[in-house]
Structure 1
Amino acid sequence: MLYCIVTMEGRLLGVDFGLKRIGLAVCDDAHILATPLPVYHTKSMRNSIDRVAAVARESEARGIVVGLPLNLDGSESVQSGRARAFARNVQKVTGLPVELFDERLTTVEADELLREAGVTKAAERALLVDSMAAKVILQSYIDNNKNR
């Protein structure tokens, strides 16, 4: 499932997959800046796949980057397998290239970015952290692949 979709022209959709919420972000056509989108509260795996497909269509995404949750030592977990299955199904439904990207510590970074932006209440950050994590995943993917 490795496509190096960053070399493609057009927008990319970033996804922070979760069983309760899915964070989403989109970047500009030039792959310079990722922007968070509203979080999606999941109802089922199928519903989540359909929602990501709809957002990909609406944003005219040419590829999708799904965060791969790895343990700190780089090993995979149960959630890694779920993210892989989700990514495979999103690819089948959308027909778009989908790439998995290491998302270790992105939620921690997203929470810190929200604190720096003045979102001091934990409850408010909890509502935004998944979309901010999707932004961090997508921005990191773009930045790490600029020289490809």
Structure 2
Amino acid sequence: MPDTLTPQLIMAFDFGTQKMGIAVGQSLIESATPLPLFPMKDGIPDWNSLLKIIQQHQPTLFLVGLPLNMDESESELSLRARKFARRLRHQTNIDTRMVDERLTTREARDDLEYYQAQGRAKRLAADSFAAALLIQSWYRHPVGVQP
């Protein structure tokens, strides 16, 4: 069970093969802020660029969305997201958890439409909002699995 009493800076990833949504959150105030999309090349990040972003934010916990099918079975994308999470943990030595991301992208698209209507979401995308939703769900129910 994760330590929910110690303040944490959380970085979440909505893994994708062409692009990846990233968000950061501070557990003390339960914030979740989407960042601009991160480009991927066939599911592989530019690790140097990604590590610079990580260094900039100094997270203490990573959440990686686990794209399960609605029947809870895993797909090829699930396996690739797990591989990314393992490499992330290996590259940084930061605690990394997989979090069920079913329906987050749909909810994120609804949120994004709201923010775009207000003119507040110019460089963001549903994937970044989905990553922020992973953080928000973590605050409500801090359960994740090892990659």
TM-score range, shorter chain: 0.7 to 0.9
Counterpart CA distance in 2 for 1:140 and 1:125 is: 24
Deviates more, 1:23-32 or 1:94-103: 23-32
Deviates more, 1:66-75 or 1:135-144: 135-144
Asked whether the 8 Å contact 1:15–1:25 carries over to 2, the reply is yes
Q: Tell me which of 64, 71, 74 is aligned to 1:73.
A: 71
- Provide the TM-score with structure 1 as the length reference: 0.83
Alignment of 1:1-148 (within 5 A): 4=2, 6=4, 8-30=6-28, 32-43=30-41, 45-119=43-117, 128-145=125-142
- Provide the TM-score with structure 2 as the length reference: 0.83
Per-residue deviation, 1:4:
2.5
Per-residue deviation, 1:47:
3.2
Asked whether the 8 Å contact 2:36–2:124 carries over to 1, the reply is no
Gaps of 5+ in 2: none
Asked whether the 8 Å contact 2:34–2:124 carries over to 1, the reply is no
CA RMSD for the aligned pairs? 2.6
Evaluate the alpha carbon distance shift between residue 98 and residue 51 of structure 1 in structure 2; reply closer, same or farther with a 3 A threshold. farther
Deviates more, 1:23-32 or 1:77-86: 23-32
Q: Among all aligned residue pairs of Structure 1 and Structure 2, give the percentage whose two residues are the same amino acid.
A: 33
Q: Indicate the SS of the match to 2:41.
A: coil
Per-residue deviation, 1:43:
3.1
Q: Indicate the SS of the match to 1:117.
A: helix
Counterpart CA distance in 1 for 2:96 and 2:3 is: 8
Q: Indicate the SS of the match to 1:38.
A: coil
- Give the length in aligned residue pairs: 141
Q: Indicate the SS of the match to 1:19.
A: coil
Counterpart CA distance in 2 for 1:12 and 1:71 is: 25
Asked whether the 8 Å contact 1:13–1:24 carries over to 2, the reply is yes
- 1:31-71 Cα shifts (integer Å, max 9, x gaps): 51111011111135553444433322210101100000000
